[in-house]
Amino acid sequence: MRENTTLTALRAGKSTIGGWISLGNTHAAEMLAHAGFDWLCIDLQHGLIDYTDLRNMLPAISTTGTMPFVRVTDNAPAEIMKVLDLGAMGVIVPLVNDRAEAERAVAACRYPPDGGRSFGPIRAALYGGRGYAAESNQQIACIAMIETRAGIDNIEEIAATPGLDALYVGPADLALSLGLPPQGDTDDPLHRSTCEALIEAAHARSLPIGCHAGSTAYALKRLEMGFDFAPLGSDASWLMGGASKAVADVRGALPETRESTGY
């Protein structure tokens, strides 16, 4: 089966960098896949993307060696299984609050006897290649998001869940759970100390842990803090940032007033 190179790197203690996809554009997803990211995550939870978009975007990413991940809308086995059958090499599951919920996510990602995933990898077997049925339990990344007060309080039991491959911090929801404004890219001391405690709990179990970031600057901060993986931004932020800068650069270079040219 195709190797999940991102998962291999994380298991070896190496950092990985990714990108976040929230706009349902197949060509944009393919372009980002050619940019050299280790992984790209298609966001079904908050992104403007539906199943039809996903069905087209996963093959577009697969024109490269970039690993395609999907953040599902909920810890729902039917949805997790469906995106895996489409060829996702990993799922990021939001709002995981305790070990039972983590076990539920893991079970949806694993064929028996390791879990309860139903067999029918209609595209995944084609993309994954020969050996998918036998090897996918070891190659599919199951990643649980920690972003609630319950998730923080239960971090040690969540991190101890057999079969869980990594944790992922949702910093904006984490901020809300701490009584802070929902800002993900933040240097608030309470937010930082909470993240450090989550990193310590994950690494105590030799479990990789990532954190969402809205910019390259904050991705670097998160990685320097001890997180193992982070996105450098999103298609939406890069589009808006690039367009806004282009407009500002040109407006700043033009004189404030110009004499009439007579037409």
pLDDT 10s digits, 28-70: 999 999 999 999 999 999 999 999 999 999 999 999 999 999 9
Q: What is the CA radius of gyration of the chain?
A: 20
What's the pLDDT band for 255 if we cut at 50, 70, 90? confident
Tell me the CA end-to-end span of the chain in Å, nearest whole number: 67
pLDDT single digits (tens) 167-223: 999 999 999 999 999 999 999 999 999 999 999 999 999 999 999 999 999 999 999
Give Cα separations from 189 to 35, 178, 180 (angstroms): 34, 11, 11
Look at the pTM and tell me if it is higher than 0.75.
yes
C-alpha–C-alpha distance, residues 147 and 156, integer Å: 14
pLDDT single digits (tens) 76-114: 999 999 999 999 999 999 999 999 999 999 999 999 999
C-alpha–C-alpha distance, residues 175 and 67, integer Å: 29
C-alpha–C-alpha distance, residues 206 and 197, integer Å: 14
For the chain, where are the alpha helices, taking DSSP H only?
A: 5-11, 26-33, 51-61, 77-86, 99-109, 124-128, 132-139, 149-153, 155-159, 171-177, 189-204, 216-225, 235-253
Buried b (16+ CB within 10 A) or exposed e, 70-96: bbbbebebebbbbbbbbbbbbbbbbbb
CB-based contacts of 214, cutoff 8 Å, min separation 6: 184, 185, 233, 234, 237
Q: Give the residue numbers marked as catalytic.
A: 46
